[in-house]
Amino acid sequence: MKVLSVNAGSSSLKFQLYEMPEENVLMKGVFERIGLEGSFYTLKIQGEKIKKEAPLPSHEDAVAILIQELLSNQMISSLEEIKGIGHRVVHGGSKYKGSCLITEEVLKDIEEFFPLAPLHNPANLIGIQAFMKNIPNAIEVACFDTAFHQTMEEERFLYALPYEWYEKYGVRKYGFHGMSHQYVSRRASELLDKKFSNIIVCHLGNGGSVSAVRDLKCVDTSMGFTPNAGIVMGSRSGDIDYSILPYIMKQTGKSIEELDTILNKQSGMYAISGISSDFRDIEEKIAEKDRRAIMAHYLFVNSVVSYIAKYYVELGGADAICFTAGVGENSPHVRNMIMKRLSCLGVKMDRDKNEELRFGKEGVISTPDSSITCFVIPTDEEVMIARDTYEFSK
């Protein structure tokens, strides 16, 4: 059975076509600069990469081209072959605790959550509507980034703020990157061969979050009401003392909107290093002993370690710590810094394994006598979407 996994952004659309239940990726690609000048798309078919320029005034145009490419590359002989289309939807509020079939009610809810995820949910909805129009026979499934974290207890997701803000306006911790945390924690429990286990997942990408998972259920996570909370990120601040905002507004005359942009786009590693939000650029400067690049790394590592320590205690110990996403999968330097700080818990790193496991390789980077098994597990959010979609399409 063929199933599409889709991630629609405001000007981009990523997809993967799967043969299920084998989970074989037949074709994948990304449409970029939708609605902008210079739009193009890239496809990957059996290891071969193709890039084409094409006008893409809307997401619907991208979907129309995608269908043509699927047919002309003989991935499908007719549209009827695509049984299900799964969409990544960033925000499912408190309502959605798992993936679901998209109905009129779900479409309305995704729209209702626009104020909670103004950059993401509108684009996700446009993507869904474009596929509904162009491939009407397939079922559509919504896979929410917030759903995995819905098992958090009230005492973990509430803020100590007026209770009516929670009741009336939905102010609470939601958590994000849910499909990644779910994929990685499941995989770790498979590798440990232990279903009942305490796992700490460090999703360290451009955006980053740490989560505590007990028996495959999320207990706590570092992102909050928005994806700006938690650890230091590429260009996001992570946790701060909120009182800095009124103070800076008074000092500079900047508006709350301007500060929101600064906190999201001009903070984090970018702000401290003064170089870039990309860890590769910063690591290059560390090699040259650049003080601010080194400082940025310390801030980042401190924030990750403090969440691991917190979750170690919240879980009452940990069987595994997992590193995933761009930095977690590819930076032995960052993993080394984090694991060294955890030596007080009895964590011991296997240096060779740590250097070896990069660029999509999965495995253990701790020594056999380490108190906690440390894994590198490349994340796969797309396959989580495909699996859930397949379940509804069977």
Active centre residues (catalytic): 145
Q: Which is nearer to ligand ADP, 84 or 332 (CB)?
A: 332
**DSSP H helix total and E strand total for the chain:** 15, 14
Q: Classify residue 252 by burial, with Cβ atoms within 10 Å: 0-12, 13-18, 19+.
A: exposed
Q: At 341, is the secondary structure helix, strand, or coil?
A: helix
Check residue 96 and give left, alpha or beta (phi > 0: left; psi -120 to 50: alpha): beta
Query: Which residue stretches of the chain are H helix?
Result: 59-72, 104-112, 121-134, 154-157, 163-169, 178-192, 244-252, 256-265, 268-273, 279-287, 291-315, 325-330, 332-341, 351-356, 381-393
Q: Which is nearer to ligand ADP, 324 or 389 (CB)?
A: 324
List all residues 6 or more positions away from 274 whose beta carbon is below 8 Å from its beta carbon.
292
Q: How far apart are the C-alpha atoms of 34 and 51, rounded to whole Å?
A: 15
| Cα first-last separation, the chain | 9
List all residues 6 or more positions away from 169 whose beta carbon is below 8 Å from its beta carbon.
none
Q: Which is nearer to ligand ADP, 14 or 341 (CB)?
A: 14
Q: Which is nearer to ligand ADP, 312 or 375 (CB)?
A: 375
In this structure, are strands 198-204 and 320-324 parallel, antiparallel, or unpaired? parallel
Least distance in Å: CB of 172 to ligand ADP?
23
Least distance in Å: CB of 386 to ligand ADP?
18
Least distance in Å: CB of 222 to ligand ADP?
14
Q: Which is nearer to ligand ADP, 113 or 279 (CB)?
A: 279
Q: Find the residue with minimal CB distance to ligand ADP.
A: 326
Q: Which is nearer to ligand ADP, 185 or 330 (CB)?
A: 330
Contact (Cβ atoms closer than 8 angstroms) between residue 145 and residue 177: yes
Least distance in Å: CB of 207 to ligand ADP?
4
Least distance in Å: CB of 335 to ligand ADP?
10
Strand partners, 34: none
The amino acid that residue 374 corresponds to is C
Least distance in Å: CB of 218 to ligand ADP?
19
Least distance in Å: CB of 267 to ligand ADP?
15
Q: Classify residue 196 by burial, with Cβ atoms within 10 Å: 0-12, 13-18, 19+.
A: exposed
Structure tokens at 239: 């946790």
Angle at the Cα of 108 (from 105 to 110), degrees rounded to 5?
A: 110
Q: Which is nearer to ligand ADP, 170 or 363 (CB)?
A: 363
Binding residues for ligand ADP, per CB under 6 A? 205-207, 234, 278-280, 283, 325-327, 330-331
Strand partners, 18: 3, 25
